[in-house]
Amino acid sequence: MNKKTIYLFFALVSSFQLVGQNYWQQEVNYNIQVKLNDKTHTLSAFEEFEYVNNSPTTLDRIYVHLWPNAYRNGKTALAKQKYATGEKELKFGKEENKGGIDSLDFQSNGQKLKWDYDPINGDICVITLTTPLKGGERIRISTPFKVKIPSGEISRLGHIEESYQITQWYPKPAVFDKNGWNPIPYLNQGEFYSEFGSFDVSITLPKNYIVGATGDLQTSSEIKFLDNLAKSTEGKIPDFLMTKQGRGGKTAFPASSDEWKTIRYTQSRVHDFAWFADKRFAVLKGEVEMPKSKRKVTSWAMFVPHNTINWQHAIEYINDGTYYYSLWNGDYPYNQVTAVDGTISAGGGMEYPNVTVIGNASSKEELEVVIVHEVGHNWFYGILGTNERVHGWMDEGMNTLNEMRYIQTKYPNNTRLSDMVANGKFHFNDLNHHDVGDVSYRAIAMLGIDQPIETHSADFTPINYGLIMYQKTGIVFFYLMDYLGEEKFNEVMRAYYEEWKFKHPQPEDMRKSMEASSGKNLSWLFEDLIQTTNHIDFKIQKVIKDKQTNTTLVKVKNVGQVNGPIVVNAFRDTVLVETIWIEPTKKGQAVFSSTGYTRITIDNSKNIPEIVRSNNTWTKKALFHKIEPLKMEFLFGDHETSKTNLFWTPTIGGNVYDGFMIGAAVHNMGVPFKPFQFLIAPQFSFGRKNIAGLAELSYTFLPKTCLKISKFGASVKNFGSGSERIDFFTSVTPYWFAQLGNRGKAKATSHSVLLQGLLRQDLNFGGLVNIQQGAFVSYNYNVNLPDHRFNMNLRGEYLQGRQRFDQLGRISIAAIYKYKYLKNKMERWIELRAFAGSNILYKTQSPQGNSNYELSIFGARGYQDLFVEDYNFGRFETTGIWSQNRQDNFGNFHANNIDMAIGSSSSWMAASNLYIQLPVKPGIFGAFADFGLFEDLSGTTQTVMNAGLGVKLSNTLGVFFPLYQSSYFGDLFTNYGQKIRFTLKLNIVNKGLNISNLLN
Rounded to the nearest whole angstrom, what is the least distance from the CB of residue 381 to Zn ion in the complex? 7
Quote the CA–CA distance of 381 and 247 in Å, as a whole number: 35
Quote the CA–CA distance of 151 and 161 in Å, as a whole number: 8
CA quadruple 130, 135, 139, 144: dihedral positive or negative?
Answer: positive
**The one-letter amino acid at 870:** D
Quote the CA–CA distance of 565 and 800 in Å, as a whole number: 54
For Zn ion, the closer of residues 272 and 396 by Cβ is: 396
Quote the CA–CA distance of 515 and 531 in Å, as a whole number: 17
Rounded to the nearest whole angstrom, what is the least distance from the CB of residue 373 to Zn ion in the complex? 6
Rounded to the nearest whole angstrom, what is the least distance from the CB of residue 532 to Zn ion in the complex? 24
Question: HEC string of 268-331?
Answer: EEECCCCEEEECCCEEEEEEEECCCCCCEEEEEEEECHHHHHHHCCHHHHHHHHHHHHHHHHCC
Q: Which residues pair with 205 in a beta bridge?
A: 261
For Zn ion, the closer of residues 216 and 396 by Cβ is: 396
For Zn ion, the closer of residues 372 and 857 by Cβ is: 372
Rounded to the nearest whole angstrom, what is the least distance from the CB of residue 305 to Zn ion in the complex? 27
Closest listed residue to residue 118, CA positions, set 180, 153, 67: 67
Rounded to the nearest whole angstrom, what is the least distance from the CB of residue 288 to Zn ion in the complex? 21
For Zn ion, the closer of residues 99 and 349 by Cβ is: 349
Contact 41/149 with Cβ under 8 angstroms? yes
Rounded to the nearest whole angstrom, what is the least distance from the CB of residue 395 to Zn ion in the complex? 7
Rounded to the nearest whole angstrom, what is the least distance from the CB of residue 335 to Zn ion in the complex? 23
Contact 43/34 with Cβ under 8 angstroms? yes
Sheet of strand 124-133: strand arrangement = 114-117, 124-133, 59-65, 172-173
Rounded to the nearest whole angstrom, what is the least distance from the CB of residue 441 to Zn ion in the complex? 17
Question: HEC string of 338-407?
Answer: EEEECCCCCCCEEEECCEEEECCCCCHHHHHHHHHHHHHCHHHHHHECCCCCCCHHHCHHHHHHHHHHHH
Q: Measured at the alpha carbon of residue 999, what is the angle toward residues 995 and 1000, in degrees to the nearest 5?
A: 125
Rounded to the nearest whole angstrom, what is the least distance from the CB of residue 321 to Zn ion in the complex? 13
- The CA distances from residue 214 to 224, 267, 382, 650, 991, in Å, are 18, 7, 11, 58, 52
Rounded to the nearest whole angstrom, what is the least distance from the CB of residue 377 to Zn ion in the complex? 6
For Zn ion, the closer of residues 396 and 762 by Cβ is: 396
For Zn ion, the closer of residues 177 and 396 by Cβ is: 396
For Zn ion, the closer of residues 217 and 372 by Cβ is: 372
For Zn ion, the closer of residues 182 and 399 by Cβ is: 399
Taking the CB of residue 324, how many other CB atoms lie within 10 A of it?
Answer: 20
Rounded to the nearest whole angstrom, what is the least distance from the CB of residue 341 to Zn ion in the complex? 17
For Zn ion, the closer of residues 396 and 537 by Cβ is: 396
From the number of C-beta atoms within 10 Å of its C-beta (0-12, 13-18, 19+), residue 172 rates as buried
For Zn ion, the closer of residues 434 and 606 by Cβ is: 434
For Zn ion, the closer of residues 47 and 396 by Cβ is: 396
Rounded to the nearest whole angstrom, what is the least distance from the CB of residue 399 to Zn ion in the complex? 5
Rounded to the nearest whole angstrom, what is the least distance from the CB of residue 536 to Zn ion in the complex? 25
DSSP string, 142-204: EEEEEEE--BTTTSSSEEETTEEEE-S-S-EEPEEETTEEE-----SSS------EEEEEEEE
Contact 379/329 with Cβ under 8 angstroms? yes
**The one-letter amino acid at 868:** V
For Zn ion, the closer of residues 149 and 398 by Cβ is: 398
For Zn ion, the closer of residues 460 and 673 by Cβ is: 460
Terminal C-alpha separation, the chain: 50
For Zn ion, the closer of residues 30 and 186 by Cβ is: 186
For Zn ion, the closer of residues 396 and 936 by Cβ is: 396
Rounded to the nearest whole angstrom, what is the least distance from the CB of residue 375 to Zn ion in the complex? 10
Quote the CA–CA distance of 683 and 693 in Å, as a whole number: 5
DSSP string, 66-135: -GGGGGSSTTSHHHHHHHHTT--HHHHS-GGG--EEE----EETTEE-EEEE-SS-TTEEEEEEEEEE-T
What CA dihedral angle connects 495, 496, 498 and 500, to 10 degrees? 160
Q: Which residues pair with 571 in a beta bridge?
A: 576, 599
Rounded to the nearest whole angstrom, what is the least distance from the CB of residue 393 to Zn ion in the complex? 11
Query: In the bound complex, which residue of the shown chain has the CB atom lying closest to Zn ion?
Result: 396
Quote the CA–CA distance of 370 and 361 in Å, as a whole number: 8
Quote the CA–CA distance of 500 and 514 in Å, as a whole number: 12
From the number of C-beta atoms within 10 Å of its C-beta (0-12, 13-18, 19+), residue 296 rates as exposed
For Zn ion, the closer of residues 320 and 658 by Cβ is: 320
Rounded to the nearest whole angstrom, what is the least distance from the CB of residue 325 to Zn ion in the complex? 13
Q: Which residues bind Zn ion (CB under 5 A)?
A: 396
